[in-house]
Amino acid sequence: QCAIDPKSTVTDACTSYSDLDTLNRDIAPTLKELTEADFFAYYRLNLYNKVCPFWSDENSICGNRACAVDTIDDEDDIPPIWKIEELSKLEGARAQHPGPGQRKERTQQRPLSYQLGENVDESCVYEADDECDERDYCVPEDEGAASKGDYVSLLNNAEKFTGYAGPGANQVWDAIYKENCFSKPSSASPPTNTGLHAAAELRNIFQEHGRQNLETEHDSASLNDQCIEQRAFYRVISGMHASISTHLCWDYYNQTSGSWFRNIECYKQRLHSHPDRISNLYFNYALVTRAIAKLNKHLQSYTFCSGDPDQDLETKAKVRKLTGHLASVPNTFDENMLFQDPGMMDLKDDFKQRFRNVSRIMDCVGCDKCRLWGKLQTAGYGAALKVLFEFDENKNGENPHLRRTELVALINTYGRLSHSMEATRWFREHVNAHSDGP
């Protein structure tokens, strides 16, 4: 038995790949239905109002129609319960979004129904997302932004080929992989970079040296030198990159014929010839599966609000079906293997700050649709890491707050991974059929 744990090497031939395929076949229909439910299909994010904090991206803006995002400009198209003015209708202390400290105090003092008004759960209201808990792995969506963001229908803005490529796109990927350079941990080392230090460090690199031509793939020698936490970080990024590549190959645009098609050559070049990338995709699936399984208990009492009570009941039933299933299978990922060395206390902070920086780098993506899905998936992995490393599944009420946007990002990221696994299987079968042919 070889589990896809952070110690396994990218070349391990794991029987658990087929276990994950089987699991995915079982849960994919429910997961797909969930991503189509209103609660999970609308995502609120700051898509346009944040500037790239690291370099000027004016020359790498993608002008293709496929790069554009249709945002929901008409408030009437958003389930009323999430609109900002709904907050004013609420009674009690929660109507002013409390800071983390205050929230804890209030939660201890008063029942939630008092804070929100009768029968209104925290998940039902507009969330300002402007609070950063030290346990977050992602930057809250409106950090430093002038407005509170846009609602986007994820169903109307599918992740697919956009034509965004060239130096601008490469610079973003380079910067993301550059975050994987951890400082050498030791018990005597001073506190590692805060997010701002790391951000400044990155900005300097780009300003002083221009675009770095970094080798982003890890060879096996350098992998062996890394601690498992660093390797896990790399695999999360590479697995996300592999999933994005899979979707752009799956829905590829032929500019000559004007048609969309599944581009097998694209898959061969970007994924098939790099089995480590596919391995990292499975790694992410195992990691996110475990995070969602860990939320099973927490989500039992969660209220899903979209303004349509029948649909909300259905959503809740499907979430319970999904998390119940995931919690019933053997653990797919052992988070207890990471951050265990007492001599590496700073490592977790470093990991967290670096992951937050990846979410900041997403504001440098010059294609709106790519930025939408890049931000959503980074937020989804951030939520998964928060659940894995900050949640105790046996405790109730003492775990960090999981915002609605985090849950929506988590489920949709899982949906993307699930579809990527189905798509790579389809591609693999076609490549194999072709090579076995006459």
Give the binding site for ligand FAD (CB under 6 A).
159, 161-162, 164-165, 169-170, 172-173, 216-217, 238, 241-242, 244-245, 248, 277, 365, 369-370, 373-374
Strands 150-153 and 252-254: unpaired
3-state secondary structure of 261: strand
Active site (catalytic) residues: 367, 370
Minimum distance of ligand FAD from residue 98's CB (angstroms): 33
Residue placing its CB nearer to ligand FAD in the complex, 41 or 169? 169
d(CA 361, CA 173): 9
d(CA 100, CA 377): 24
Residue the block writes with tokens 């975050």: 179
| Closest to 140 in 3D by CA, of 359, 380, 411 | 359
3-state secondary structure of 199: helix
Side chain identity at residue 27, one-letter code = I
d(CA 220, CA 239): 17
Minimum distance of ligand FAD from residue 422's CB (angstroms): 17
Check if the beta carbon of residue 123 is closer than 8 Å to that of residue 99.
no
Check if the beta carbon of residue 72 is closer than 8 Å to that of residue 155.
no
350 class by beta-carbon count within 10 Å (0-12 exposed, 13-18 middle, 19+ buried): buried
Check if the beta carbon of residue 137 is closer than 8 Å to that of residue 356.
yes
HSE-CB at 256 with a 13 A cutoff on CA atoms is 0
Residue placing its CB nearer to ligand FAD in the complex, 172 or 388? 172
**Residue 423 burial (CB count, 10 A):** 19
Minimum distance of ligand FAD from residue 399's CB (angstroms): 29
Residue placing its CB nearer to ligand FAD in the complex, 120 or 361? 361
Minimum distance of ligand FAD from residue 179's CB (angstroms): 13
Strands 252-254 and 259-261: antiparallel
Q: Calculate the alpha carbon distances from 323 to 147, 192, 273, 381, 412 in Å.
A: 34, 36, 34, 17, 14
| Closest to 417 in 3D by CA, of 325, 285, 319 | 285
Minimum distance of ligand FAD from residue 411's CB (angstroms): 19
Structure tokens at 214: 């970094």
Check if the beta carbon of residue 238 is closer than 8 Å to that of residue 270.
no
Residue placing its CB nearer to ligand FAD in the complex, 270 or 318? 270
Side chain identity at residue 288, one-letter code = V
Residue placing its CB nearer to ligand FAD in the complex, 193 or 245? 245
Minimum distance of ligand FAD from residue 201's CB (angstroms): 20
Residue placing its CB nearer to ligand FAD in the complex, 105 or 217? 217
Minimum distance of ligand FAD from residue 231's CB (angstroms): 13
Structure tokens at 385: 């890491």
Residue placing its CB nearer to ligand FAD in the complex, 276 or 346? 276
